[in-house]
Amino acid sequence: MIGRRQQVALALTAVLAAAAACQNAGRQESKHPTAAVSPARGFTLVASGDILPHDSVIERAAFDGGGGYDFRPMLAGAEPAVAKADLALCHMETVFGADGDYSGYPKFKSPPQIAPALAAAGYDGCSTASDHSLDDGADGIRRTLDAMDRVGLKHAGTARSAAEARSVTLHRAGSAKVAHLAYTFGTDVGPVPAGEPWAVDLIDPDRVIADARAARRAGADVVVVSAHWGTEWQDQPDRLQLGLAQRLTASRTNGRPDIDLILGTHAHVPQAYEKVNGTWVVYGMGDQIAGEMYNGRGVQDRRGNESTLGRFTFAPPARPGGRWQVTRAEFVPQVYDVDAGRVLDLASAIAGGAELEGVRERIKDVVLSRGAAADGLAMGG
C-alpha cells in the first residue's frame, strides 16, 4: 500500500513526464525507450529479547494504568531505538489471558494490553514460539494472536489453524520483503497436542531449512529466524546452539544462504553475538522485561533483567537475486529496572552512575566474547 506522499509524488512525476513528452514532439524519437526504475533501498532491523511479565510486572502496569493496564511507560526507554528502525521485532514469550485472569510464573497469562504498547513503541511484529506458548492451551494462543492482529502486530511461531501455520509472515522493509520464522525447543506443559501439531513451531533443522526455502519461494528477499533455545543462566551458547547455528547458516540454495539472520531468546541472560558462515547469529538477547529473576540455584540474579537490542543494517544486492548484505551490525545494552518498572538504554548510561556503567560493560564483554568485534559488531547508541 502506498502512502499519501507517495501518491502525490507519483502524480507529479506523471505530469512532468507528460510535459516533457510534449516538448520533445517532433524531435528524434528514441529507439529504445526506458522506464524510470526506483533504486533499491536498504533497511535497518532491530530485535529485542524476551518479554516475560511476572506478577510484579503486571502489578506495575496496573499502577501505571490507573485502573487499567498500561505497558507503554515500561517500553518508553526502548522506543527511540525501536521507532527509528524500518523493521522492529520483539519476542512475546507468554500468552494473553482474559477478563482479569492474569498470572505470572509458572503458568503465564499476561494482560492483552501489552500488544498496543508494543505497537505504540514501534514494533512491527513478534516471535511467539516459546516454552510458555501452551501455558493456557489453544485458547491462550488464539487470544494472543487475536490481540496482535487488532493492533497490526504481525507474529510468527504459533498458529490458530493449520492454514495459518503454513503461511509465511512477511514484512516490508525498505525495498525488501523480509520473512520472519520462529521456533522453540519445546514447551513446559509437554508435547504439542496431537490434534493440533501446528499450534507451536518446534525446532527441527530440516523443518527450519525447508520453511526458509519456502519463504524464498513466497518472495522473501531476507529470511530471519527467531530461535527459543539454549541453557538458562549460561552466558555462552551451549553445544546444541552452536551445532544448530552451524547447520542453519551453512544451508544454501544455488550458492545463496537460505537464512540471513538468527535471533536467539530463552536463556534469561545476554549471550554472545557471532558471525557464523558469513551470517550473524545472536545466541541470546536476554530478558527485555521480567520481574525479579532467580537462577537455577534459587538465588536472585540481576542478569535476568539485562538484555541487548540487536540492530542490523541491510544493503541491497549488487545484482538481482543476490544476497542482501549486513553492512552494519550493532548491539544496544539494556536493563529492566524492577523497582521503577522501566526499560533503560545503557548505551549512554554514564549519567546513571558506576553501577549502570558496570552492567553495560559486563553485557559488552559477553556479547563480544566470541570475537564479534573483529567482524564489525559495535555498541550502538
Per-residue pLDDT of 147-161, as tens digits, reads 999 999 999 999 999
Q: How far apart are CA 375 and CA 314, in angstroms?
A: 15
Q: What is the pLDDT of residue 349?
A: 55
Q: What is the pLDDT of residue 350?
A: 52
Q: What is the pLDDT of residue 16?
A: 37
Give residue-wise pLDDT tens across range 67-114: 899 999 999 999 999 999 999 999 999 999 999 999 999 999 999 999
Q: Which residue has the cell 539494556?
A: 334
Q: Are 182 and 226 in contact (CB under 8 A)?
A: yes
How much of the chain is in helix, strand and coil states, percent to nearest 5? 30, 30, 40
Q: How far apart are CA 79 and CA 48, in angstroms?
A: 11
Lookup: cell for 219: 518472495
Does the pTM surpass 0.85? The reply is: yes
Give me the residues paired with residue 66 across strands: 68
Q: What is the mean pLDDT of residues 301-309?
A: 98
Give me the residues paired with residue 290 across strands: 52
- SS3 (DSSP) at 284: coil
Q: Distance from first CA to last CA of the chain, Å, rounded? A: 32
DSSP conformational letter for 30? P
Judge whether residue 186 has pLDDT over 50. yes
- pLDDT over 90 percentage in the chain: 84
Q: What is the pLDDT of residue 6?
A: 40
Q: What is the mean pLDDT of residues 259-267?
A: 98
pLDDT-based confidence at residue 35 (cuts at 50, 70, 90): very low
Judge whether residue 316 has pLDDT over 90. yes
Q: What is the pLDDT of residue 352?
A: 63
Q: Are 257 and 324 in contact (CB under 8 A)?
A: no
Judge whether residue 120 has pLDDT over 60. yes
Residue 199 CB coordination number (10 Å): 23
Nearest to 305 by CA among 275, 342, 273, 337: 337
Q: Which residues contact 215 (CB under 8 A, 6 or more apart)?
A: 168, 170, 179, 181, 223
Q: Which fold has domain 43-379?
A: Purple Acid Phosphatase; chain A, domain 2 (3.60.21)
pLDDT-based confidence at residue 194 (cuts at 50, 70, 90): confident
Judge whether residue 279 has pLDDT over 90. yes
pLDDT-based confidence at residue 12 (cuts at 50, 70, 90): very low
Give residue-wise pLDDT tens across range 327-381: 999 999 999 999 999 999 998 655 568 889 999 999 999 999 999 999 999 999 8
Judge whether residue 26 has pLDDT over 60. no
